[in-house]
């Protein structure tokens, strides 16, 4: 960064909600945005049964993984050959606009509690003298309760880990014997089946933590907006030489 620059904004979130910034003394990929108002011990502050949101932008997380890794291997047995590939990444978080919208509209299992009898949020209430006590005020308007928690402006509430382990690819090939190929007047022949993106282990709440959001022609890695589900791919491959 130039000597005259203290803050460099690299990306901005949907509707200006959150931004990825480089600060002097910080790291590339630091995500800043609005979040909860919290007590000194870190608990969420509630007022009249609903969470209080901070009006001050602050550092929330980092969007770049600490490390990525891939491991693959090939196994052979007689005329069979099996190739497998696994990918993984750990140590990053990102904002999910899809989760925010689904939570506010009650489409998630996590929003089932309190629909009929209300609920008491896990946090504290600030007393008139500045001390805090455990929140004991129920939220009776449950739609308002979840909206106040997961409204898209509350960037902190909609940040999730993008850690994953993926079974990226598997391929099984069989090479035909020369005796069989001679009858068909072929020099070489092999048939194989393959699959890609077969399985994923991740706590990302939408579809795939390897999302890419396009904004003004740039791919943004810290903000997921309207992601489509990832698809598995299966196929058959036949190679012959005459």
Burial class of 108 by CB neighbour count within 10 A (0 to 12, 13 to 18, 19+): middle
Q: How many domains does the chain have?
A: 1
Domain membership of residue 1 (yes or no) is no
pLDDT tens string, the chain, 242 residues long: the values are 788 888 888 888 888 889 999 999 899 899 999 999 999 999 999 999 999 999 999 999 999 999 999 999 999 999 999 999 999 999 999 999 999 999 999 999 999 999 988 899 999 999 999 999 999 999 999 999 999 999 999 999 999 999 999 999 999 999 988 888 787 778 888 999 999 999 999 999 988 998 876 666 667 788 998 777 788 999 999 988 88
Domain membership of residue 96 (yes or no) is yes
Quickly tell me which residue has 């891939």 as its tokens.
70
HSE, side-chain direction, 13 A CA sphere, residue 217: 0
Domain membership of residue 215 (yes or no) is yes
pTM of the model: 0.85
Domain membership of residue 175 (yes or no) is yes
Domain membership of residue 90 (yes or no) is yes
Range(s) of the domain holding residue 12: 7-241
Domain membership of residue 2 (yes or no) is no
Structure tokens belonging to residue 97: 């606009």
Q: Give the CA dihedral 40, 43, 48, 52, nearest 10 degrees.
A: 80
CB 197 within 8 A of CB 155: no
Domain membership of residue 30 (yes or no) is yes
């Amino acid at each position: 960064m130039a000597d005259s620059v203290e803050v460099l904004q690299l990306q901005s979130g949907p509707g200006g909600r959150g931004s990825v910034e480089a600060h002097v003394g910080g790291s590339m990929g630091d995500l800043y945005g609005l979040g909860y108002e919290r007590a000194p011990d870190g608990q969420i502050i509630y007022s009249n049964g609903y969470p209080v949101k901070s009006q001050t932008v602050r550092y929330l997380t980092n969007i770049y993984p600490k490390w990525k890794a891939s491991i693959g291997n090939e196994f052979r047995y007689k005329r069979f050959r099996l190739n497998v590939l696994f990918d993984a990444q750990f140590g990053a978080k990102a904002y999910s606009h899809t989760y925010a919208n689904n939570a506010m509209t009650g489409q998630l299992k996590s929003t089932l509690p309190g629909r009929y009898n209300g609920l008491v949020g896990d946090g504290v209430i600030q007393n008139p003298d500045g001390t805090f006590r455990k929140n004991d005020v129920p939220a009776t308007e449950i739609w308002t309760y979840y909206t106040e928690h997961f409204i898209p402006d509350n960037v902190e509430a909609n940040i999730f880990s993008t850690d994953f382990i993926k079974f990226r690819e598997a391929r099984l090939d069989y090479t035909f014997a020369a005796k069989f190929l001679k009858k068909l007047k072929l020099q070489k022949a092999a048939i194989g089946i393959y699959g890609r993106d077969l399985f994923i282990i991740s706590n990302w709440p939408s579809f795939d933590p390897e999302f890419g959001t396009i904004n003004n022609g740039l791919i943004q890695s810290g903000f997921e907006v309207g992601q489509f589900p990832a698809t598995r791919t299966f196929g058959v491959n036949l190679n012959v030489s005459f």
